[in-house]
Amino acid sequence: MQRTILIPLIVASALFMENMDSTVIATSLPAIAADIGQSPLALKLALTSYLVSLAVFIPVSGWVADRYGSRTVFASAIVVFVGGSLLCAVCSTLPAFVIARFIQGLGGALMVPVGRLVLMRAVPKSEYVAALNYLTIPALLGPVIGPALGGAITLYFHWRWIFAINVPIGALGLYLVLRHIPEFRSEDRPPFDSFGFALSGLGLAVLMLGLSSLGGHLMPTSVTLACVGAGALALVAYGWHARRTPHPAVDLRLFRLPTFFDGVLVGSLFRLGLGASPFLLPLLLQIGFGLDPLRSGLITCTTAVGAMFMKTLTIRILRRYGFRHVLTINGVLAALSVGVACFFTITTPHLLIALVLLISGCLRSLQFTALQAVSFAEIAPADVGQAASITSMAQRLSQSLGIAAGAYFLQLSAWLHGHDGIVASDFWPAFAALTIIALIAPLLHLRLAHDAGADVSGHRATPRPAA
């Protein structure tokens, strides 16, 4: 009983810290930008560097845990995450802040997947479902309270305390991990593809650094373009390397499976379109409409509330309609829910904005869960770990690309309107462009078979009458 309850709650504390931290900063971006003397759009680098760090290091987390022990790696990841948080709290320049966020992402990349691995190994299979319930609920609370908490701290204290609150949580988690988590190692592990990891990691990091710097932030244009080119070449080289390696760091052969291709790559296009919303909405509410950080956070957290509510209905909906119908129809509705933000004005009632975001959260949650589930519909048991790493990596990269694209569209809109700074009227073209991108994905989902992933969803397509 102790393992079924205590270990999931210990792991959940790490998930809560990571999930809350990824949402709490968005509400405080205008205040952080003003304090370090940067444009709010330049702070996109702080968000993307964190996500890119997750994407780079998640694929190696399982191997590291097997090599050095899951408890040791989990505890070390908490220390790195908290250390990165403290660096964020004392940074006063954009480059230093970006580096601190990257270090924080390294801790998160090892902390979250290794924490789940600890749970799977420490809890008996007969108690696994109960343990997951204890794990999921605290982890889901992070995105709900994160925006409002970040707004309250920014408004009544200082944004630097946002990162300092991770210290007591991390210290408690570290103590509990060292006291109650057993150590697990695995001698039966494939050789580590160090060359492939270097190619893919450097390629992703350099490419995303270049894409995130478009618009003249952080680096000169020539250096930005050089980063984009060098990163793209490194990723092409990794693709050549992966086809000739028996145990590649990222196994691209899984994309031959139709459902995995659809859930990960096509789903990434949808995530790209929606990924900028958590970045753009606080800027719209605070810079465009003049709301304080607390009121902005209270409004935007309704998206997470809607997501939590939809978790109770997702299984029934997928069983009733199947992946193909849900991913196409709900995908269109979820994309259009982003486009509704085009019509928000300073006179729009806050309750109406919150209601729209609540519905949008429901639709996004259903789509994200369906994408996650269909991705594993054809995965063999031996490839589950590799598929999980690729899926997590693709999710972070698409979110990062979405933030970079949203910031670029917003900056381009302000330039076309002749504005020196950002005003409310600059936001609707950015939301419109992202909506168009997100609408492409549901059309591509039409290629799925009507019974695609039926073993996972439980849906059985109605047989067509014979001609």
Instruction: Give residue-wise pLDDT tens across range 136-167.
Output: 666 667 777 888 888 898 888 888 998 888 88
Residue 360: Cβ within 10 Å count: 24
- For 40, residues 6+ apart whose C-beta sits below 8 A from its C-beta are 29, 30, 33, 283, 287, 422
Given this chain, do its domains 1-183 and 253-467 carry the same CATH topology?
Answer: yes
State the pLDDT confidence band at 395, using cuts at 50, 70 and 90. confident
Amino acid 87: pLDDT: 93
> Can you tell me the mean pLDDT for 34-49?
85
d(CA 426, CA 410): 6
Amino acid 466: pLDDT: 46
Amino acid 4: pLDDT: 61
d(CA 443, CA 335): 12
Examine the pLDDT at 8 and tell me if it is beyond 50: yes
Amino acid 467: pLDDT: 44
- For 74, residues 6+ apart whose C-beta sits below 8 A from its C-beta are 14, 65, 110, 111, 114, 115, 118, 177, 181
State the pLDDT confidence band at 287, using cuts at 50, 70 and 90. very high
Examine the pLDDT at 2 and tell me if it is beyond 60: no
Q: Which CATH superfamily is domain 253-467 in?
A: MFS general substrate transporter like domains (1.20.1250.20)
> Can you tell me the mean pLDDT for 249-260?
87
**3-class secondary structure, 311:** coil
d(CA 17, CA 10): 11
- Tens digits of residue pLDDT in 46-103: 888 888 888 888 888 878 887 888 888 889 999 999 999 999 999 888 889 989 999 9
- Residue 27 Ramachandran class (φ > 0 left, ψ -120 to 50 alpha, else beta): alpha
State the pLDDT confidence band at 281, using cuts at 50, 70 and 90. very high
Which of the following CATH numbers is that of domain 1-183: 3.40.462.10, 3.90.1150.10, 1.20.1250.20, 3.40.50.720?
1.20.1250.20
**Residue 10 and residue 159 in contact, taking contact as beta carbons nearer than 8 Å:** no
Candidates 144, 154, 156; CA nearest to 27 is 154
- For 61, residues 6+ apart whose C-beta sits below 8 A from its C-beta are 73, 109, 110, 113, 114, 117, 389
Examine the pLDDT at 461 and tell me if it is beyond 60: no
Examine the pLDDT at 1 and tell me if it is beyond 50: no
- Tens digits of residue pLDDT in 12-21: 777 778 777 7
Amino acid 86: pLDDT: 93
- For 425, residues 6+ apart whose C-beta sits below 8 A from its C-beta are 417
Q: What's the mean per-residue pLDDT of the chain?
A: 84
Rg (alpha carbons) of the chain, rounded to whole number: 22
- Give residue limits of the domains in the chain: 1-183, 193-248, 253-467
**Residue 322 and residue 457 in contact, taking contact as beta carbons nearer than 8 Å:** yes
Residue at token pair 């504005």: 419
d(CA 146, CA 157): 16
